[in-house]
Chains A and B, each alone.
Chain A
Amino acid sequence: MDKMEVEKRVIKVVCHVLGADPAEVKAESDFVFDLGAESAQSVGLVTAFEAEFGIEMDHEEALKVQTVGGAADYIATQLT
């Protein structure tokens, strides 16, 4: 799966979990500062990424990722 595809699916998950407008979700968007993720939603995002990509993530590490682009990069490394 190429990086573009990963990012596209990450944005889809983010919009679904946070109820965000896809037009406002950019690679540089901060989950908390720009998209308003509350702490429970951040945990929900990690779980939703795992389901979307069929992977298991280290939650502590995953929760340190702050931006959409960062999440796409992190997931891409998990997929390879």
Chain B
Amino acid sequence: MPSQPTEPSALDLIFSPRSVAVLGVGATPGTVPNDIFCNILGSGFKGVLYPVAPGKHSINAVRAYRYVTDIDDTVDLAVIVFPANVCEKALQQCGEKGVRAAIIISAGFREVGPEGAAREDRVKDLCRRYGIALVGPNCLGVINTAPDVMLNASFARGMPSAGRIGFLSQSGALCTAVLDYAAEKHIGFSKFVSFGNKAGVTEIDLMDYLHRDPQTDVILLYLEELRDGRGLIEAARRITRGPGAKPILAIKSGRTPQGAHAAASHTGSLAGEDAVCDAVFRQAGIIRVASIEELFNAAILYAYQPMPADNRLAIVTNAGGPGVMATDAAVSAGLRIPRFEPETTLKLKAALPAAANTKNPVDVIGDARAERYVAALDAVLADPNVDEVLVILTPQSMTDIPEIAQSICQVQKTAAKPISCSFMGAADVRPGITILQRAHIPHYVLPEWACQAMAHVQAIRQWRAQPAEKIDPAPVDRAAAEAVLRGAPAGYLREDQALAVLEAYGFPVPAAKLCKTADEAVAWGDRIGYPVVLRVVSPQIVHKFDVKGVALNLAGADAVRTAHRQMMDHLATAAPEAAIVGVIVRRMIPPGHEVILGAKRDPAFGPTVMFGLGGIFVEIFKDVTFALAPLSRQAAARAVREIAAYPLLEGARGTAKADVAGIEDCLVRLGQLVTDFDSIAELDINPLLVGSAEQGCAVADVRIRIAGNG
């Protein structure tokens, strides 16, 4: 029995519609309402196209309809180009006709202010009511180069060539520049989408669609605003690892408005949205790049060449200087320059003149013609120590540029290892570059760019090799923490309360007690043993050191009484308005490495944790990293190793190795704490004093800020 055809998904209808109606088509060439229609008509669309153009008999010799409801046929996709103020009417009619997918190209929505935002909300309501999947509004449109579809529902200047790259962009204007850039470099696309205000379909839906799309190998994303950072990260983790994994390369520009506010805590001020975004993207397998050039440099290498087995690069060049520059760039990018097997060296010596360098980088010298490049390429590609090859060419008087390019194309046809090229220069090398680009051999103006692209592909390879991570909650006393946090007013918790929360979550908090009098402080000191520390507790005092509210290293009862009296006397003048609850008395923690552990709620990503070098170094070196909460053990281990000062913890210059496992445990517990309690807006443990593995870690100071209701 033949199987029933499955119902196409709404996104299938957007990308592969059998029929498209363009609503609001105009007759004036050079305007969006006319160009979109002409682009679909001229792109070789394999379905049926209907212009909805009230008052017009036909558009470009195609019979026009007054309303979408006048079309007898089913309409899979409506492309709406009416001005914003009538888009609702158009969408309403689409809903009545049973259209399930729409693109609103028009601007005049959320991006223009409150009136536009209200209009966009009404559009969303209509889409919900009629079950319409909407791309846009305020976008360039959608392109699908699949030969059985050939849809250019956009106002770009033409149809790009087919390729293996899926491109998603929030900016429509950038799309047109990207298409022009790509055309010049012979880069093709599978799908090309400008999603604009993402009132319906989001970048996450589109990423998932491209993950399933057999024509797409790599996903490129240009994003200005993150509304669902968590969703994006979860999608990226699904897409970038496991069966059918595809890499995501992204440019994320702009910052959320919330990021502009000045935050009170260290974590708040250090955790600018961009730094958090950087770390979080990395932890989700998203390769973040800074420019369109870098984006495509990496994309073409991944999409058009095989994945290298490892990171050992052979360089073949006809000029020594660029070979050395490329070697430096490769090593800086984390690539290795391996030694060749003796057999390879013999092959190179046999094929190259005596003056040539047969070591890596191989210098075929300036008078090399195509056959010498081919011999060197064949030899290094066959070497088991080589995973990928970079070919460098400088245009010298005897250099047969097009022939060399064609020879590289021939070699590449049977090569199982990736080949990249850098034909350095501009005018003279142009014919060779065009030959390479047409054959989909990645070409880079500078060898440094090639190395940067290779480093990105290595990051993709390494990410895939890592096992998926599982979050194992640590044993904690959640009820005890909740007893402190429930009903806590907005603002900073008292230190004794903050310590109680940390203790409930299993942090290494030294035995401490809130003492209301000097006698109580001495009694507690006698019990826990000296030396001890006194720390004033007052809801009005956040920065204790500033008002001499801390006394360290008190060796006995007399020292405690003296310090207590002096502290109270000083506070009476330094902070006369402060209500003194008492003093925290705890054992003096032995010296150790000072690190900071912090947590905050990122507007896009939710709870995040921070780790870095602590104490007074926090603000100076800003040597910190971030991670999404909750953290797996592996994520905690990675975070600790990401800071520049990590070698200090490993025991640099003969010092004992610090309790790194203890830090990792604290990070896991911190992630769990801020995930469990939404009311914690910010948290700083600064410093966590880290001794040797035997001594362990100890919380020396903590601040927890409770969020207000607003």
Q: What is the interface of chain A, defined by CB distance below 8 A to chain B?
A: 18-20, 30, 32-40, 66
Contact = CB atoms under 8 A, between A and B. Distances in A.
A36 B90 contact: no
Nearest to B55: A36
A18 B55 CA distance: 8
A68 B373 CA distance: 75
Q: What are the 3 A-B residue pairs with the smallest beta carbon separation, nearest first?
A: A36-B55, A36-B54, A33-B86
Dominant secondary structure at the B interface: loop
Given A38-B26, A38-B27, A66-B85, A33 B90 contact: yes
Nearest to B52: A36
Contacts of A19: 55
Contacts of B89: 30, 33
Contacts of B90: 33
Contact of A35 (B24, B26, B33, B55): B55
Contacts of A36: 26, 53-56
A19 B85 CA distance: 22
Dominant secondary structure at the A interface: loop
A59 B26 CA distance: 22
19 contacts: A19-B55, A20-B55, A30-B86, A30-B89, A32-B24, A32-B82, A33-B54, A33-B89, A33-B90, A34-B66, A36-B53, A36-B55, A36-B56, A37-B55, A38-B26, A38-B27, A39-B31, A40-B28, A66-B85
A58 to B, nearest CB: 18
Contact of A38 (B33, B85, B86): B33
Interface in B195-220: none
Contacts of B24: 32
A18 B56 CA distance: 10
B473 interface: no
Contacts of B66: 34
B42 interface: no
Interface in B657-707: none
Interface string B72-100: 00000000001101100110000000000
A39 B83 contact: yes
A37 B83 CA distance: 10
Contacts of A37: 55
Nearest to B25: A36
Most buried by A among B28, B55, B83, B90: B55
Contacts of A33: 54, 82, 86, 89-90
Contacts of A30: 86, 89
A35 B26 CA distance: 12
Given A34-B66, A35-B54, 15 more contacts: A18-B55, A19-B55, A30-B89, A32-B24, A32-B82, A32-B83, A32-B85, A33-B90, A34-B54, A36-B26, A37-B55, A38-B27, A38-B28, A38-B33, A66-B86
A40 B86 CA distance: 17
B82 A38 contact: no
A48 B223 CA distance: 45
Contacts of A40: 28
A39 to B, nearest CB: 7
Most buried by B among A33, A37, A66: A33
Contacts of B85: 32, 66
A34 B24 CA distance: 10
Nearest to B86: A33
A20 B55 CA distance: 6
B56 A32 contact: no
Contacts of B31: 38-39
B371 to A, nearest CB: 63
A43 to B, nearest CB: 13
Nearest to A29: B54
Interface string B465-497: 000000000000000000000000000000000
A39 B107 CA distance: 14
Nearest to A64: B85
A4 B54 CA distance: 25
Contacts of B54: 33-36
Interface string B37-58: 0000000000000000111100
Nearest to B53: A36
Interface string B439-482: 00000000000000000000000000000000000000000000
Contacts of B86: 30, 32-33, 66
A18 B83 CA distance: 17
Contacts of A38: 26-28, 31, 33
A36 B28 CA distance: 12
Interface in B4-44: 24, 26-28, 31, 33
A51 to B, nearest CB: 21
Nearest to B88: A33
A60 B700 CA distance: 65
